Structure 1
Amino acid sequence: MGDVTRREALGSAALGLGGAALAASASGPAAAQDAPRPLAFAGNHTPKPLRFDPAKLTGLSERLITSHWENNYQGSVRGLNTIETRLAAAMADPGFPTVVYAGLKREELHRTGSVVLHELYFDGLGGNGEAAGSVREALAAAYGSFDAWEAEFRRTAMSLAGGSGWCVLTWNPHTRSLHNYWAWDHMHGAVAGVPLIALDMYEHSYHMDYGSAAARYVDAFMVNLDWEVIDARFAAAMD
């Protein structure tokens, strides 16, 4: 994700402490490695392929998309698999330190959020940026006009520029409403919210092409959105 952040440093520390604690255990971890792991700790997540040709996007280079997909997204997939494996081993060890387990659980949430949001991000690209369908009508109703929604989405995204986080259009089934939510990292999101559009505002998602010109990156993201995919997500959320 570019420069190492405090959250990344803490996550790496959790991985390191978890590994050290497991290595110090006697028979528990070894037995856990031999026994089949429960589904919750299977550690067998695999990267989801891109559904579009990264060389054919407008304003987002093949080099940028490929690097983002291979390094940042796949790095989170690998990290999640490692965390789940270590959680399984920790649960097999009655003496595993609670404070270290807490770090592993935090990293599990962080890595899970990163995998899910990145998959939503990439799967939402590959279109012509022309909004259509029931989701467009719903956004116009929620914000007064579609243009008003887009303006607020862009402003939310730019409030994260130069830092880190996600701008997420979300259907909130509890309030029965659409909202653009601000997420400081992979662990922030509306409770029960269903993400429809996920815009990665970490600098790794645009710095290679645009440097600090985050607004130009947001422009490029919007013109590559596949609104058929977004409309299908909205329909599924409404079922």
Structure 2
Amino acid sequence: MSFELPALPYAKSALEPYISEKTLDFHYGKHHQTYVNKLNDLVPGTKFENADLETIVKEAEGGIFNNGAQVWNHTFYFMQFSPDGCKEPKDKLKTAIEAEWKTVEDFKEAFSQAAATLFGSGWAWLVKDDAGKLSIVQTSNAANPMRDGLTPILTCDVWEHAYYLDKQNARPKYVEDFWKVLDWKVVSERF
């Protein structure tokens, strides 16, 4: 199986001023593309040659895992944005968030704290377990909560390449702006 960089559902300039076209040129166009290219170089001749990304994320190790998970993670990340998307969670997701954190604002504060304080590079995730219970988890590097039997609902990429061109070392400002382009309709459909 050959992997491809998925097309963005918006123009690269559409998320400005929160995420710049220049950042998307590098983050999506270079970093994400490099993970796709490396994965395509690594899988031929392995048991993952015909595997989908989810299988690779759940079962692979080493370079195949790192690149496959980064392709999956970045695709999941980029597809949750919209310049004019829904600004609040809907229906069952909103109810589940309020059951766990009381209010959507309390959830956003807890999630933002997890994203801003993750040491080094990685991801903050909203996930659900098999019972539908929501939680916030942090993962380092390419790690993905599917490896722990959890279902990702939304994620914030806190590798420096996600924000350094726009925000320099101000990760909390990047996380604050993340909410301004997150499309809760997409996130609610994942729940």
What does residue range 178-189 of structure 1 map to in structure 2 within 5 Å?
178-189=134-145
Q: Which residue of 2 aligns with 1:218?
A: 175
Using the TM superposition, give the Cα deviation of residue 129 of structure 1 relative to its aligned residue in structure 2, in angstroms: 5.9
After the TM superposition, which segments of 4 or more aligned residues of structure 1 sit over 4 Å from their partners?
A: none
Q: Show CA shifts across 1:178-234 (max 9, x none).
A: 111100121242522111111110000000011001111111111100111111111
Q: Which residue of 2 aligns with 1:136?
A: 94
Q: Does residue 152 of the first structure (1) align with residue 110 of the second (2)?
A: yes
- CA distance in 2: counterparts of 1:224 and 1:157, whole angstroms: 16
Q: Does the 8 A contact of 1:156 with 1:180 survive in 2?
A: yes
Using the TM superposition, give the Cα deviation of residue 138 of structure 1 relative to its aligned residue in structure 2, in angstroms: 1.4
Q: Which residue of 2 aligns with 1:34?
A: none
Q: Does residue 207 of the first structure (1) align with residue 149 of the second (2)?
A: no
Q: Which residue of 1 aligns with 2:65?
A: 109
Comparing 121-130 and 212-221, the one that deviates more:
121-130
Residue ranges of structure 2 left out of the alignment (5+ in a row) = 48-59
Residue number among 29, 34, 55 corresponding to 1:75 in the alignment? 34
- CA distance in 2: counterparts of 1:164 and 1:210, whole angstroms: 15
Q: What letter matches 2:110 in structure 1?
A: E
Q: Which residue of 1 aligns with 2:19?
A: 60
Q: Show CA shifts across 1:79-103 (max 9, x none).
A: 1111101526xxxxxxxxxxxxxxx
Q: What letter matches 1:78 in structure 2?
A: N
Q: TM-score, normalised by structure 2?
A: 0.85
Provide closer, same or farther for how the CA distance between residues 221 and 142 of structure 1 changes in structure 2, counting only shifts above 3 A: same
Percent of aligned positions with the same letter in both sequences?
23
Q: Does residue 192 of the first structure (1) align with residue 149 of the second (2)?
A: yes
Q: Does residue 166 of the first structure (1) align with residue 123 of the second (2)?
A: yes
Q: What letter matches 1:142 in structure 2?
A: E
SS at match of 2:9: coil
Residue ranges of structure 1 left out of the alignment (5+ in a row) = 1-41, 89-103, 235-239
**Bigger relative contact order, structure 1 or 2 (CA pairs below 8 A, ≥6 apart):** 2
Q: What letter matches 1:64 in structure 2?
A: T
Residue number among 98, 103, 119 corresponding to 2:75 in the alignment? 119
- CA distance in 1: counterparts of 2:137 and 2:44, whole angstroms: 32
Paired residues, number: 177
Q: Does the 8 A contact of 2:80 with 2:183 survive in 1?
A: yes
Q: Show CA shifts across 1:44-73 (max 9, x none).
A: 011100001221214111110121111111
Comparing 75-84 and 125-134, the one that deviates more:
125-134
Comparing 223-232 and 49-58, the one that deviates more:
49-58
- CA distance in 2: counterparts of 1:220 and 1:208, whole angstroms: 14
Comparing 58-67 and 163-172, the one that deviates more:
58-67
